[in-house]
């Protein structure tokens, strides 16, 4: 069983819970996922099943797009609704125009410090484990891209929003920073991931709807130029041998199809030749 699977993760589930469910339903131990979602977050979780796991590095997973809601006037320990309140302020004078102005300042290439309640490792330890002990340590900031941060509405101290960003961006930190800029504080109330690169949550299934029929074929999901090889070249490529092919000028990688049009590998350009760098096992290809 090989392919990619789009799952709409429910609130309260960890990403690992969703993986475990897929393993049980499909009877396949090799299941991985791309782009972890916190338990409170819902939405698109992309999974690889079987030998598709080795091709996950070729997936286009940016931009990541989310919709959500923030609560103004309350900051929490985790920057979201699962944390304890640490400060409360009056947010009644905040307007949607001011929120939009401040959100615009957080768009573009920004430096973001991971929150203490995160899975990032510092000194070999997960930050959230240190945070639970009441410890706070220096965290190296990292550059992320916020392609869009749009405030969609404001009602009764809650603002709805849409974010499009690069991988590694903490949306709850964006919300926290926006609250600071607005002078009232804020925390993330809800979050839903609606897209990853070219994948959309509208194409995803609920965990209870998972089946082999939902698997996406590798060549269609990888978003790479596809080349169909003659039998001799395909046989050589399946054994990892370089080959010459004058196709797709400017492309660094291509998907390889055999003489019957079946996907079997990804090859990278090496000067005037192509080298198969990730190939399905022979037993799979002959099965």
Q: What is the DSSP letter of 205?
A: B
Q: Look up the pTM and report it.
A: 0.90
Q: Give Rg (Cα) of the chain.
A: 22
* Fold of the domain built from segment(s) 64-196: Pseudouridine synthase (3.30.2350)
Q: Among 271, 287, 276, which residue's Cα sits nearest to residue 234?
A: 276
pLDDT of residue 130: 57
Assigned token pair, 176: 């926290």
Q: Which CATH class is domain 224-285?
A: mainly beta
Which ranges in the chain are annotated with CATH 3.30.2350.10? 3-59+198-217, 64-196
What does the block give as tokens for 221? 């999901």
CATH of the domain spanning 3-59+198-217 = 3.30.2350.10
Does pLDDT of 259 surpass 70?
A: yes
What are the start and end residues of each CATH 2.30.130.10 domain in the chain?
224-285
Residue 36: band (very low, low, confident or very high) from pLDDT cuts 50, 70, 90: confident
Reported confidence tier of residue 220, pLDDT bands at 50, 70, 90: confident
For residue range 78-88, list pLDDT tens digits in order: 899 988 999 99
The mean per-residue pLDDT over the stretch 147-160 comes to 97
Identify the pLDDT of residue 223. Answer: 87
| pLDDT score at 120 | 57
Instruction: Give dist(CA 22, CA 25) in Å, integer.
Output: 5
**Residues annotated catalytic, as ranges:** 38
CA distances from 134 to 130, 170, 216, 239 (A): 7, 21, 44, 54
Reference 245, options 213, 212, 271; nearest CA is 271
Give the sheet arrangement for strand 226-228, strand by strand: 226-228, 253-257, 263-270, 273-279
């Amino acid at each position: 069983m090989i392919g990619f699977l789009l799952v709409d993760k429910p609130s309260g589930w960890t990403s690992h819970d969703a993986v475990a469910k897929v393993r049980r339903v499909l009877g396949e131990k090799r299941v991985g996922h791309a782009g972890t979602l916190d338990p409170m977050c819902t939405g698109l979780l992309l999974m690889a099943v079987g030998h598709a796991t080795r091709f996950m590095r070729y997936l286009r997973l940016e931009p990541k797009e989310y919709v959500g809601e923030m609560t103004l006037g309350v900051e929490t320990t985790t920057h979201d609704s699962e944390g304890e309140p640490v400060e409360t302020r009056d947010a009644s004078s905040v307007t949607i125009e001011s929120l939009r102005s401040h959100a615009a300042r957080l768009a573009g290439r920004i430096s973001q410090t991971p929150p203490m309640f995160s899975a990032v490792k510092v000194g070999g330890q997960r930050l959230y484990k240190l945070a639970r002990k009441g410890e706070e340590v220096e965290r190296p900031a990292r550059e992320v891209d916020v392609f869009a941060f749009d405030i969609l509405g404001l009602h009764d101290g809650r603002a709805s929003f849409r974010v499009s960003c690069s991988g590694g961006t903490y949306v709850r930190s964006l919300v926290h920073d926006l609250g600071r800029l607005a002078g009232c504080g804020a925390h993330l109330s809800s979050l839903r991931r609606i897209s990853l690169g070219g994948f959309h949550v509208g194409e995803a299934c609920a965990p209870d709807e998972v089946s082999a029929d939902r698997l996406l074929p590798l060549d269609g999901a990888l978003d790479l130029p596809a080349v169909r090889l003659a039998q001799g070249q395909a046989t050589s490529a399946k054994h990892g041998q370089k080959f010459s092919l004058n196709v797709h000028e400017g492309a660094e990688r291509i998907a390889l199809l055999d003489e019957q049009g079946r996907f079997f590998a990804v090859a990278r350009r090496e000067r005037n030749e192509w080298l198969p760098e990730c190939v399905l096992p022979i037993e799979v290809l002959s099965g």
